[in-house]
Amino acid sequence: MRRTLPGQRRATIAAGTASAVAAATLVGVTLGLAPTASAGEFLVNGGFESGSLGPWSCSGNSGSVVTSPVHGGSRALAAAATAGDTAQCGQTVTVAPNTTYTLSAYVNGSYVYLGVDGGGPSTWTPGTGGSYQKLSLSFTTGATQTSATVYTHGWYGQGTYYADDISLDGPGAPSPTPTPTPTGTASPTASPTATPTGTPTGTPTGTPTGTPTGTPTGTPTSPPAGSHALVGYLHASFANGAGYTRMADVPNSWDFINLSFGEPTSVTSGDIRFNRCPATECPTVESDDEFKAAIAAKRAQGKKVLISIGGQNGQVQLTSTAARDTFVSSVSAIIDKWGLDGLDIDFEGHSLSLNTGDTDFRNPTSPVIVNLISAVKTLKAKYGPGFVLTMAPETFFVQLGYQYYGSGPWGGQDPRAGAYLPVIHALRDDLTLLHVQDYNSGSIMGLDNQYHSMGGADFHVAMTDMLLKGFPVAGNANNVFPALPASKVAIGMPATTNAGNGYVAPAEVNKALDCLTKLANCGTYVPRSGAQPNLRGLMTWSINWDRFGGQEFSKNFNGYFGR
């Protein structure tokens, strides 16, 4: 969840917050190349001195040839990354099996990537300081591999990057006059190898320590069939362009109110603190007693009030059992102090990642995953069946797992890909609601094996259908992430255009709901899971932004469900 306006937010996943890496599509161009016996250059027009892009192809017509700035010669590639497109440019060449090649390029810009598609390695730079910087990597082809697509791309919303003198060197160089033949097919990008800070260490343990001290209270959190819920995040510890909303002033439309945010004292401490917005930042902030009384009043009305942990700035890595136990005690202290119903896990950025070799979501071994699962189970045992647990992962950590899981067979994918899946699976019986953030996302492949992008009903339908149908993780039919009950699934959307990228108007929201709940009014994507009338509802960032926007989001929800 973003504290700032979209135009002011920090750089996304490459810099430390989350979004989809393997999302940009690329129209490949296959070159029929006859290899010779000597080593040499495999790429055509790697310096773009021809004055045109061919045989390179760029997603979304994002690429062009420019005369400045250049690294060598008189021309270079310029590609403009937008909020919805990483501006990937690629070229496919014929290669020999079991052969090692070296790929290099000179790049200029922020968050520029160089890699080999189809699960191959990649490298990147967070920024070049206005001059060209060389990126280089090596890879070895498979036993039956005869082609490879190399690419460069930027990152969402980072603007134009430049690339020049791109080279693929290896034995058996092609003739200098190949004839390009468009393949007309799309292929996913490989994930960058940006390694999360604070690599997980320590020995995982799956057994909670200590004796639960709380007395189980309340009733089981599974909702009755047919009940619908509206979930919103309340800016409780900060102010931004949406302004501060007092707890007592939260409209009655909201069934789940997630206090944003509890954050750690350091990334790996596990010590979570909830600091209310100071009066210097939020002049209308209420006193602690007033805040607590308003929470109690909301709960008396049947509302659920949770502490949301993480968000854009709150990186939480439970790398040790000590951090796990501190997490349990500090979160318990917050819940007890304010009289809350439970916990929302909004881990973003580098909080969750999978260690190399951790490939089975049913049996995770990465400490940050295992310790989080253990901590939440301890909290559930302490507070009993009435404990409310929700999660708000980004698409990168869930639906992207259909294509990529962890670092992959090459060890070159982003280890965060699909990293929420083992957490969701281990806690599915304890889970009250999963509402994936269908915003600030790149294009993601759906169960139709087509890429879906933000901006319309189809994206929400395709992403939600993956949760309701289940999917093979990393395409492995023997490793299927099971479907979740519709009553535990809500759709995450931004409340206004200011709240995040991917806003859709009420008409598109209703189209998505019609399609998912009734199989009516569907667009190009029809759910594989069938009609799901018990779909729980909608989540939005945020209550404050909805209020700022005239309550368009909540009023539309109430109107659709007749509340």
List the catalytic residues: 348
Residue 171: both structure tokens together: 């034995």
Give the chain's length.
Answer: 563
* Distances in whole angstroms, Cα of residue 419 to Cα of each of 325, 330, 372: 21, 24, 12
Determine phi and psi for 154, rounding to 5 degrees: -95, -145
CB 44 within 8 A of CB 120: no
Instruction: Give the span between the Cα atoms of 498 and 83, in whole angstroms.
Output: 13
Instruction: Give the span between the Cα atoms of 233 and 315, in whole angstroms.
Output: 18
Determine phi and psi for 422, rounding to 5 degrees: -65, -30
Is residue 165 left, alpha or beta, with left meaning phi > 0 and alpha meaning psi from -120 to 50?
left
Sort strands 388-391 and 25-32 into parallel, antiparallel or unpaired.
Answer: unpaired
Instruction: Give the span between the Cα atoms of 144 and 99, in whole angstroms.
Output: 11
Instruction: Give the span between the Cα atoms of 501 and 436, in whole angstroms.
Output: 14
Instruction: Give the span between the Cα atoms of 295 and 161, in whole angstroms.
Output: 48
Residue among 139, 166, 133 nearest 63 (CA): 166
Query: How many CA atoms lie within 13 Å of 471's alpha carbon, on the beta-carbon side?
Result: 27
- As a three-state string, the secondary structure of 416-446 is CCCCCHHHHHHCCCCCCEEEEECCCCCCEEC
The torsion angle over the Cα atoms of residues 304, 310, 312 and 318, rounded to 10 degrees, is -160
SS3 168: strand
Residue among 101, 125, 102, 130 nearest 113 (CA): 125
Instruction: Give the span between the Cα atoms of 99 and 110, in whole angstroms.
Output: 32
Instruction: Give the span between the Cα atoms of 4 and 498, in whole angstroms.
Output: 9
| Burial letters 275-307, b for 16+ CB under 10 A, else e | ebbeeeebeebbeeeebeebbeebeeeebbbbb
CA-based end-to-end distance of the chain: 27
Determine phi and psi for 345, rounding to 5 degrees: -100, 110
SS3 457: helix
Contacts of residue 265, Cβ cutoff 8 Å, sequence gap at least 6: 271, 273
Query: How many CA atoms lie within 13 Å of 208's alpha carbon, on the beta-carbon side?
Result: 19
For the four alpha carbons of 430, 415, 356 and 480, in that order, the dihedral sign comes to: positive
